[in-house]
Structure 1
Amino acid sequence: MRSIWKWVGLAGVAGVVAGGVLVARDQRRRNSYTPEDIRARLHQRLAESERQDRG
């Protein structure tokens, strides 16, 4: 019975580590944008949403 809890604990630790890796990767990707890139993307999304509202 004790061995089962050991495996459950290891699986939990592996899940936390994998989640941390995904968060770090996403944060790194978000930080790679310059303010000009973000502004251009926001303007593009606004133009697309205005087009969808019209037609």
Structure 2
Amino acid sequence: MRLWKLLGVAGLAGVAAGGVVLARNERQRRAYTPDDVRARLHERAAAATEAPSTELLAPAAPGELVAGRTHRLARILRRR
């Protein structure tokens, strides 16, 4: 019975902490003026439309595919 009480109190503390984080983020979001938001959006749009670097578009070597998280991709490519 004691364990369930402890888990309940821990759950309530987690919910309260989550509410505090959400309230803080909302205050920070509302602190922007519409002009600030517009300027940030324009900056993001400009950064997104810039030409991507060729390093990211270069194909990976077969050894790199096997070594990392892309091992499934390496297996698929070997099947073909």
- 2:51 is paired with a residue whose SS is helix
User: Residues 1-55 of structure 1: matches in 2 within 5 Å?
Assistant: 2-53=1-52
TM-score (norm 1): 0.89
Q: Distance in 2 between matches of 1:26 and 1:11?
A: 23
- Structure 1 residue runs of 4+, over 3 Å off? 52-55
User: Which blocks of at least 5 consecutive residues in structure 1 are unaligned?
Assistant: none
Query: What do you get for the CA RMSD once the two structures are aligned?
Result: 1.6
Number of equivalent positions: 54
* Offset at residue 52 of structure 1 (A): 3.4
* Offset at residue 15 of structure 1 (A): 0.5
TM-score (norm 2): 0.62
- 1:52 is paired with a residue whose SS is coil
User: Which blocks of at least 5 consecutive residues in structure 2 are unaligned?
Assistant: 55-80
| Higher share in helix | 1
